[in-house]
Structures are given as structure tokens and as C-alpha cells.
Structure 1
Amino acid sequence: MLETALTALEPVRGSCSISTYTGEAHTFTPTAPGRAPTLITSCRSLHWMGRPEVLDMADRVAAVNAVVAIMGDGSLWTHAADWTVALRGLIQTYLGEERRAGAHGTYADPGRSYEDDLADSAFNDVNEYRFAVARAWTPEDVVGYLRTTSFARPALFADRHHEFEAEAFGLLQSHAHSGVLEGDAEFTVLLARRPGDAA
């Protein structure tokens, strides 16, 4: 994924320098002196991390005027389009009612919002931005996406994964209009700074 991201960014990065890091987020340190990050982003992944520890790390290593951006638009599991509801129902017929997550467990609401976590961190000057997003998926796109999720990854289905994918593809084709599945979402961006930092 990092290689794909770097390839996509190369033609548009201009004079900006980009470096990557693989490992536990809370253990990150800059690769060289003077390379403190000015932007730290997380999209749909912060809920898998030790959120206070990650925000402490950001405070420790980030530049004085750094921004923490937390973004997301939910997942297909939570969207309420006819086709996503039907797809969730199909997944549940294979895996049970509860949403799967992690290696062997089910999803548990964290009990705290990102706003609560940010309020307790050094980055407690928060602005929220919401953007309406209209997506057009093909059935193939959705089946591919499902393979990357914690709630419908192939290992959960064991020897029934091929059967599930075939049934999911048929379900999605039946809901598609001219081969397209539409989904409206709201993309939320929280931009957090240390109090008093310049924008």
C-alpha cells in the first residue's frame, strides 16, 4: 500500500518530501533531524490503534505548527443504501449477526469519539469539516473492497469464501443500475492543532 501511495503521489508532490514508515504508529520517530512531520493523517484506521498513545507520539515528534487530520466516512457495513443493507445481510448469513473485526473477534464500539480523544491530547484545538461524497461502484469494485475489510476478509469464510463471493457478486449485479452501484456518504475531516499554533 505504501508503494502504491508513493507512486500516486510522485507526479503531484512538487517540492514536498515524503517518507514512509512501517510499524506500530505510537513507536514512530522522524528519520532524520529536522524532519519533524507537519501533517499527520489517519483515515479509517485510528480505531485500530491505541489512540492516546498515537496522539502522545504525535505531540512528541511533530513540528510546532503540525496538524493532525483524522478522516473517514464509515464503511459499507454502516451505509444505508438498499444494496449495502442487502450485502450486510448476506455477510451475516455466512458469519453471524455481529460485525467481525480483528483476528478472531467482533467489532466493539470504542465508547469514545475522536473528538473526546483529541480534547484530552495536546491537539485539542479542533475544527470539523464535512463533505458530501457520491460514489459509483461496480460489483467488481465492491467484491475487491470486501477482501480488504475486517468484516468480510477471505479468511473469515474459510472454505466458503468462493461461494460467498459468487453470491455477493450476483446480489450486487441485481442491485446495480447500468452496472453501477451508487452510494452517498459524508466524509468527515477533523483538523486538530495545539492551542495557539498558527494555521
Structure 2
Amino acid sequence: MSTFPGTAEFYRQFRPGLPGALPTLLDQIAPAASPRRLLDIGTGPGLVVEALLERFDDIVALDSDASMVAVAESALRTPLPHGSRLQLHHGRAEEFTPSAGWQPHLVTFCRVFHWLDQSAVLARLGEYVAPEGVVAVFSDRSLWTAGNPWQRAVRDVVQDFLGTQRRAGNRTFESPGPPHTQVLRDSPFSEVTETVIPVRRTWSADDVIGYLYSTSFAAPYLFGGRRANFEAAVKTVLAHFTTNGVLLENNAFTVLTAHRPSRHGKR
């Protein structure tokens, strides 16, 4: 069963997109090529692909959740630039093999790397990523781990309704293993650079609820018939933190970019 059942539309509408500096960074670190190929693993509803459509002209996007793939398909086909190629695949990253001769120049993992068998996926990528290709792993802090006072208060509400253990769909979230930096250094892509991009956002109470419903730890179905009560409780607690109905958040994207040791500069 998917870890994110019933969340795809909420994910598309309420998950924050990428900060403006991130697509520029990814464009700069990926080698130039024609066609320039992007593989987005765990694409969800296609937020990364959407941000990079103008910078890559041969794109493969992969997700293990069929509903996410369907939402991405609907969202991305219309803005696809003329002459660009987009393929969407439903499947597991650990099992994915591209068509013969297809070598991505950039592989992206946005908010998904912790869900994967990381070493297995990286070893597989080592077999087909372009020689000077780059792997990029990036994420911001989720509401569960963020430190803003209003976010901690909302997490308390989630725990009141669903228990103190963080959920991951119908199971309990398992703590991640070694730091992602170490996992990458132990992979074929062992030259790793870390960049932190600060983010400042504004939210409404409805935005927060929509975001919660996009997560594995507060997916709509987990509340059963108590959804209305949950939403009322979230709005009540957030009322103590809003100014003119607005909530402020300070967050950051941590971006790990990795390549093979033999890579010397950008072509």
C-alpha cells in the first residue's frame, strides 16, 4: 500500500515549491548537453519537473504512487515546452532502469530520499548516469521536525488525534539511517557538496491543514470521521499565533549535490 494514499491533490496544491535559488543552482551544477536529460525520482505531483522544465529537454519522472503520477501527468503536459520530451513512470526507484542508452545528466530527489533503499538506488544510478552526471538530494524541514512555535503546537494537535508516534501511512515512521551525506560518500557519487538555502514563508490556517493532508503522518484517511474535529482543533490552536490571519515560517532547503570523483568541472 502507498504511504501517501489520498494525498496527491493536497500535495500538488499545498506543498511549498522550490525556492527560486534552487533551480538556478541545479542548472549550474548539471553538465551542459543536448539533449539535456533529467531524472526526477519520487516526483510526486511534479513540483521539481515543473521548476526545471525550461532547463532540461528530455525528462523522466518516476514515482511509486500511481495517484501522484496521474496528478503530475495532468499538471505537466500543458506547460511542456515545444520540442521537450517528458516520460512519467509508475514504479520503484530500486527497480527502475531507463531505456537503452538513456543517461541522465541530473538526478533529483526532493523530500523523498529518506523513503528509499538509498544504497541500492545509488548503486543502480551508478550503472547508467552520464559520466559527468550529478545527483542532487534536497529537502526542507517538515512540519513534524520544524521548530517554529506554531508548528510545534500543530504537531501536538496531530499527536492528540493520532498518537505520539509519527505515522507513515498505516505504519510507524522508521528513523532514517546514516546521514545522507555519508550515504552519498559511500556511493559511486562520493564527491559531495552541501548548500543551505534559507526560506521564509507565509501560511494561512487553511494552508496548514492542506499541507498536513499532503503528508504521510496526517493523511486525511487517518482521521476517519474525526476530520472536522481535527480541522477545528488546528484552527483553534493557530489562532494564538496568527497576525491578521497570517503565520510566518523560517525554514531552509539543505541541498546535497554529488558526482563521481573523476568529474572535473562542467562541460
TM-score, structure 2 normalization: 0.67
State the one-letter code of the partner of 1:150.
Answer: S
Counterpart residue type for residue 133 of structure 1: V
Percent identical among aligned pairs is 38
Question: Is the Cα contact below 8 Å between 1:44 and 1:74 reproduced in 2?
Answer: no
How many Å separate the matches in 1 of 2:88 and 2:262?
29
| One of 55, 63, 67 as aligned partner of 2:134 | 67
- Kept in 2, the 8 Å contact 1:128–1:188? The answer is yes
Query: Which residue of structure 2 lines up, in the alignment, with residue 117 of structure 1?
Result: 183
d(CA) in 2 for partners of 1:9, 1:44 = 23
Residue of structure 2 equivalent to 1:193: 259
CA distance 1:89–1:133, shift in 2 (3 Å): same
Deviation at 1:104, TM superposition (A): 2.0
Quote the offset at 1:3 in angstroms: 5.6
Q: How does 1:95-134 map to 2 (within 5 A)?
A: 95-105=162-172, 107-134=173-200
Conserved in 1, the CA contact under 8 Å of 2:102 and 2:128? Answer: no
2:192/2:259 contact within 8 Å kept? yes
Distance in 2, Cα, partners of 1:189 & 1:22:
25
Give, in angstroms, the shift of residue 60 of structure 1: 1.4
Q: CA deviation at 1:177?
A: 1.5
Once the two structures are TM-superposed, the CA of residue 158 in structure 1 deviates from its matched residue by 2.3
Query: Of the candidates 87, 91, 110, which is equivalent to residue 43 of structure 1?
Result: 110
For the residue of structure 2 that corresponds to 1:37, the secondary structure is coil
Structure 1 residues 73 and 37: alpha-carbon distance in aligned structure 2, compared to 1, 3 A threshold: same
Contact 2:190-2:260 at 8 Å conserved across structures: yes
Q: Do the aligned residues in 1 keep the contact of 2:169 with 2:219 (CA within 8 Å)?
A: no
Letter aligned with residue 84 of structure 1: Q
Query: Taking structure 1 as reference, are residues 96 and 185 closer, same or farther at Cα in structure 2, changes over 3 Å only?
Result: same
Which residue of the other structure, out of 87, 90, 93, is the alignment partner of 1:19?
87
Instruction: Report how far residue 95 of structure 1 moved.
Output: 1.6
1:57 aligns to what SS in structure 2?
A: helix
Contact 1:21-1:28 within 8 A present in 2 as well: no
Whether contact under 8 Å (1:30, 1:37) holds in the other structure is no
Which amino acid in the other structure matches residue 186 of structure 1? A
User: What one-letter code is carried by the residue in structure 1 that aligns with 2:90?
Assistant: T
Cα distance change of structure 1 residues 23 and 165 upon mapping to structure 2, 3 Å threshold: same
Q: Aligned with 1:164: secondary structure?
A: helix
For 2:96, give the aligned amino acid. F
Whether 2:124 is the aligned partner of 1:57: answer yes
- Return the TM-score normalized by structure 1: 0.89
